[in-house]
Amino acid sequence: MQEVKIILITISFILIWVDSIPTFPIKIVKRIRMKLNFKPFNCTNCLSFWIGLVLSVVFLEPIYLAMPLFTKAVENNIY
């Protein structure tokens, strides 16, 4: 159950970071987003892969390696 919570929180963060932050009204968040506007941080698949890799190493759970698949499924159902 812990894995499901972490996966849902991570997917929410990824989709907010990639899709909603560019129109976010707070200037500090926009500045951080503009400084991190290169490949691992501006693409949903790339960001979900790297976050999944880090989570799988930290928690020693291989299920987090499927994070790009989960993110893509959620993203397709939302849009």
- pLDDT, position 5: 87
State how many domains the chain has. Answer: 1
Would you give per-residue pLDDT tens digits along the chain (79 residues)?
A: 788 888 888 888 887 777 766 566 667 666 776 776 666 767 788 888 888 999 999 999 898 899 888 888 887 877 6
Domain boundaries, position 15: 2-78
The phi, psi pair for 60, rounded to 5°, reads 55, 40
3-state secondary structure the chain: CHHHHHHHHHHHHHHHHHHHHHHCCCHHHHHHHHHCCCHHHHCHHHHHHHHHHHHHHHHCCHHHHHHHHHHHHHHHHHC
> Residue 13 corresponds to which tokens in the numbers above?
């963060």
